[in-house]
Structure formats: C-alpha cells, structure tokens
A and B are shown apart, each in its own frame.
Chain A
Amino acid sequence: MDRLRTSDRAAAEELFNACYPRLAGWVRRLVDDDDTAHEIAAEAFTRLLGRWSRLDNPQSYLYMIATNLVRDHWRKTGRERRALQSVGATAVADPAYHPAQDVHVRELLQALPDRLRSAFLLHYYAGFPVRDVAALLGRPEGTIKADLFQARARLRAALGESDG
C-alpha cells in the first residue's frame, strides 16, 4: 500500500486548506445543516485522496464528487421525509434554519433531472466555465449550454408557478 508521499501530502494539505472552506460552504447551501455539509465535503476529500496520483484536476473532481454526494443526500432525505410524513411526523429538516429563498430554490433544484442539475450546479454555482463542465461530465459544450438553458427555463417556470 503506497501512502501519500510527504510531498504529495503537502500538496494535498495545501489543496485542502485552500478549497475545503469554500467546498463545505458550497455544499452548505444545498443541504440542511453544517454537519451534513462537513460530512459531504470530508467524504469528497477522502475520495479525492484515494485517487490523488491519477487526477489531472483535483478541484474539478472534488466538486464532481460533492455534486453526486449532494444528490445522494437529497434522495436519502427525500425518502426519509416521505417515510416520516407517512407516519405523521414533521419534516426532517428545519426549513426555518435557512432563508426561505434558499430552501425554495434548493427544492426546485432537487426536482431537476440529474443531467440538468449537475451542469447547473457546476456552472452557475461552483463557477466552472462551460468548457470545464463539459469535460467533467463528458458531454459536448453545446449539449452543456443547452442543458443550462433548459435548467434555467425550468427553474424560472417553476418559480413563476409557485409565485403565482
């Protein structure tokens, strides 16, 4: 088993120091509490270290993992919420903890298809250029642009409906 070399460890720690707070903050806007955000950010870094020597762009990889982990979290909490609601309990998360707008948009994001949601989060939220998102998701740039357009249109339509 090869452990991280000292120099790799220094580089990994540097990346951790530089990226963790923002990644965790990024996740925090998508989940219900700080603990879950830390859990997801830490898991993303754990997986990153597991592939450290094979990665060309560690930061992109981090956000890609985090996006998938957030999606899994949403699925899981959605199931739990439905289960709890079915026995008369209240929702797991406390929506009051967030600004209403955050929760509202987040719920709409959860409802987007995976294909649109990943592109949307990586581009508009994580700030990756379309070219990088295309490389990350393995899709042509034109497709990503179309997905982004569609995601925005769906979100706007949903927001419009809920406002009305």
Chain B
Amino acid sequence: MADPRDDLDTWMRAQIQPLPPPPGTFELIRKRARRRKMARAAAAAASAAAVIAVVATVPRLVITQLNLGPGPASSGAQVGQTSSAGAHHHQRQPSATARPTPATGPASSAPPAAPPNFAATSVTFVGTSTGYVLGQAGTPGHCGPPKPFICTSLAGTGDGGKTWHGVSAPVTGAAKGRSGVSQVRFYNTSDGWAFGPQLWATHNGGQTWHQIDTGGRRVTALETAGQRVFAVWADCTGTGTGWAAGCTGQALYSAAPGSNRWAPVPGAAASLNLNGTASAAALMLTGSRGYLLPPSGVLVSGPVSNAGAWAPVTGSAAPCLPGAAQADGQPSGALLAAAGTSGLVLVCPDAAAGRVVYTSANGGRTWRQAGTAPAVGTATSAAGTSTGSIVLATTAGIDVSTDGGATWTPAAGTLPAGGFSYAGMTTPSQGVAVPADSSVHAVWLTYDGGMTWQESPIK
C-alpha cells in the first residue's frame, strides 16, 4: 500500500501553475463591480426613501397624540473608514519611513516612494519590467514601524527600473552574524525570498513576510528557476558583516516557489561533505538544470523540476575551487555562470594570468580554457546570457565577452567608483548590477547586453 502521506504531501507541495487572465478581464471586472455598486446604491436609496416616508408619517401621528416634535434623524458613523495599513501584520516592515505598502493600503493611492538613503545590497528582476532591490534605508532610530532601528527596506519597480517605489520588507535587520538579511530573489510577482543569513519568504508580492526556520543554519545562496527555489543552508561561524565566513557544513534545500516547505535535495547531501574546510559554494540554475559547485570542486547537478535527485557530474573536476565567501555569501574563488544554450562558464582567479575563463559544453564533465579576462580589480560576480555573452562584475567595473570568454571589452557608461558587487542578466540585452559602494543609492542597468550601463537612482 502506498504511504498515504505521499499523496497528500505531494499534492500540497505541487506548484500552482499561474493562469493568466483572458484579455480584458480587468475591465470586465471593473465594470461588473461598478454595476453592482450602482444597483446597491439604488436599492439603498429606495430603502432610505421608504424609511423617510415612514419617519415622516409616524411622527405626524405621534405629534398628534403626544404633542412632541420629531427629533432630527441621527447620523450614523461614516462608513468606509479604513484601519491603519499593516495593523494585522507583524512580520513586515512597510519601509524605512513607515509608508504604507501599495498592495495593502486599503484606500491606497499612488505607490509609496522608495525610502531615502537606499543602500542597495541585492537586486532581482522577474521579467524585464518588474524588479526588487533590497537594502538598508532611512535613518536608524527613525525606521519602521514596528521597529525604529530596523531599516531593512525593499524597493520595487514596474517599469524596468525607470522609477522605484516602496515595498514591504521583512522585519529584520541588516546581515550581521546569524541574523538579518542582505539578498533578495523573486520567482514571480508573488513569491520571493530575502536571505543571507536568515531566510524569509513572501507569497503575496511583499505584502507580508514570514521567517523560514532553517534550524540555525545560514542561507548563503538562493536561486530560483524552473519550478523550484533552491538554497544553500550552511553552518557558519562568521560574525558581524562576515556572516558567510567559516561555513563548515552545507546542505542544498529546495521548495516549491509557493510553499514554505523546504526539504533537502535528494542526492546533493553526499557531495557537500566539507571535511571541516570552511568554504563557500556556488549555486547556479538554468531553465532546466541546476549546478552546485561545492568546496570539493566536484560539480553537482540535477533538475530544477523536483523530478529527480542531484548527483555529482561524472568525471567533473572544476579548474578552481569556490574558496572563501565574499560579503554577500558568494564565492571569492570560482564564479559559475551559464552562457549559450548549454554551456557553463567558470571564472577562476589565477596568480599568473589574473583571471582565467573556462567553459564546458558537456555540463561540467570537462572544461577548456576559453580565454583570460582583464586582471583589474577583484571579480565579484559572473553572469551569462542565452546568446553566449558573459558579463563579469569586478571592483573596477564590468567586463563583457561576446565570444565565449575569448576576448573582453570593458563596459562603458558612468560607472560607480569601487565597481560592482553583483551583475545579472535578465535577458540577452537587459541586465542589472549592484554597486560595491552602496552609499551611491542606485543600481545600474544595461539594455545592450552589458556593453553600456546607466545609473538608476532608487528614490
């Protein structure tokens, strides 16, 4: 007999497939709501007229009998009054300046402005228009409610970064030791996660956030693709802003995007034995497969559909190891990306050459040296596109290769001093980057495959 738990758990965990509205649905709904309101108003008016007629008649009779005039009709309290936004939601931080959120403000007007002094630490886009930036904003002591010293904030855009507005953020501080968050990812406009080191989830576009219990482990990486969200949970000893340091035990967990039920990914655990070595792990997902480069250097791969176990890639020996974690939890050594239809890219620090780029056309079984990237600054993040371009963020700027890593061109535009801590590509042409110096209160956007970047102030 099958375990009855299987059917029920599988059903509950199964991802909800969004069902887009047929064209014109919103207009139809709006008109229908308006018609009903008019009908209710007409019914209420008719009913009020009947009441007035009764009131006008009865007092006359009473006057006759008691010689008392009718008092004025008492006016009831105004209907339609709203309670304060967020009164029922303890686990959200409307913004650093306590503005109501666009979705929950009962009679909200325009979306609230993004909070001031927005120091971005992470960015994510779902599609070319909608994106979210996580960071610290406002002035400690004047943030919230509910907590004036918690200033973790979220800004959203619906126009590809042209403008930003405030979105509710999890009520937790900046990343520090085992607490707070520093990174953000969204699967769609509903399901998103703030992480590093804590893990928080929203399933209503940021209206409310709840913390996921990781059993004290720190979430050092999280990515979402296909029908799942994957995250690296690690036992770390780093303190303060070095929260991702000293990670000596890691596990790959996953969940359906709409669920808070995280579970270890089958098959991945055996490959993550660190033997006491503190190191980061690189996690990267494509539309169909996920790749994890653990401290051992043996690439682990599996489907992003929850349809099977992950397993070490046969014969895999990455040309370099992830090494220690950067401030955002990403490896300081090997940077893993995907470019082209199935190619993997690994950017390795090299004492002699500076920065060597390797590619693999067989899912990481073998690697070949594709070229050498400019040895300027420190590489912080690598991203690829479906057309094969590679975008490399460094503390000196951004370098781009359109030929699989063979040759590189420095990106143009007014770039921030200190370079970038992250760069990601949403489409082959559109991408976003986070400056290493968050005090510039902006992110950078590209619309030409990374060749030129422009500042998008978060305000």
Contact = CB atoms under 8 A, between A and B. Distances in A.
A160 B208 CA distance: 36
B259 A42 contact: no
Nearest to A129: B210
Interface string B311-335: 0000000000000000000000000
A56 B205 contact: no
B72 interface: no
B162 to A, nearest CB: 16
A22 B190 contact: yes
A27 B417 CA distance: 50
B17 interface: yes
Contacts of A70: none
A64 interface: no
A156 B3 CA distance: 9
Contacts of B104: 56-59
A163 B12 CA distance: 18
A37 B18 CA distance: 11
Interface in B206-229: 207-208, 210
B103 interface: yes
A101 B7 contact: yes
Contacts of B85: 56
Contacts of A26: 16
Main secondary structure of the interface of B (DSSP, over half): loop
A33 B43 CA distance: 35
Interface residues of B, number: 64
Contacts, number: 171
A25 B17 contact: yes
A158 B4 CA distance: 8
Contacts of B5: 156
Contacts of A27: 19
A28 interface: yes
Given A50-B37, A56-B85, A127 B203 contact: yes
Interface in B245-302: 258-260
Contacts of B88: 56-57, 132, 135
B20 interface: yes
B180 interface: no
Interface in A3-45: 3-5, 7-22, 24-29, 34, 37-38, 41-42, 45
Nearest to A151: B8
A163 B82 contact: no
Interface in A27-84: 27-29, 34, 37-38, 41-42, 45-47, 49-50, 52-59
B103 A59 contact: yes
Contact of B4 (A9, A24, A131, A160): A160
A112 B21 CA distance: 30
A46 B16 contact: no
Query: Which of B11, B26, B28 is most buried by chain A, counting CB atoms within 10 A of its CB?
Result: B11
Query: Which of A4, A22, A26 is most buried by chain B, counting CB atoms within 10 A of its CB?
Result: A22
B61 interface: no
B109 interface: yes
Contact of B82 (A42, A54, A127): A54
B168 to A, nearest CB: 12
Contact of B11 (A9, A52, A101): A101
Contacts of A55: 82, 106
A41 to B, nearest CB: 8
Contacts of B17: 25, 28
Contact of A21 (B21, B41, B109): B21
Contact of A11 (B1, B102, B259, B260): B102
Contacts of A158: 4
B21 A24 contact: yes
Interface in B1-35: 1-2, 4-5, 7-8, 10-12, 14, 16-22, 25-26, 28-30, 32-34
A105 interface: yes
B107 to A, nearest CB: 5
Contacts of A25: 16-19
Contacts of A159: 4, 7-8
A97 interface: no
A163 B18 contact: no
A27 B205 CA distance: 18
Query: Which of B21, B85, B87, B91 is most buried by chain A, counting CB atoms within 10 A of its CB?
Result: B21
B52 to A, nearest CB: 19
22 contacts: A7-B110, A22-B258, A25-B16, A28-B17, A42-B29, A46-B29, A46-B36, A50-B40, A54-B106, A55-B106, A58-B104, A58-B106, A104-B7, A105-B7, A105-B8, A135-B88, A152-B8, A155-B8, A156-B4, A160-B1, A163-B2, A164-B1
Interface of B: 1-2, 4-5, 7-8, 10-12, 14, 16-22, 25-26, 28-30, 32-34, 36-38, 40-41, 79-83, 85, 87-91, 102-111, 158, 188-190, 203-205, 207-208, 210, 258-260
Which 8 residue pairs are nearest across A and B when measured between Cβ atoms? Answer: A21-B18, A7-B109, A49-B33, A24-B19, A159-B4, A160-B4, A127-B203, A105-B11
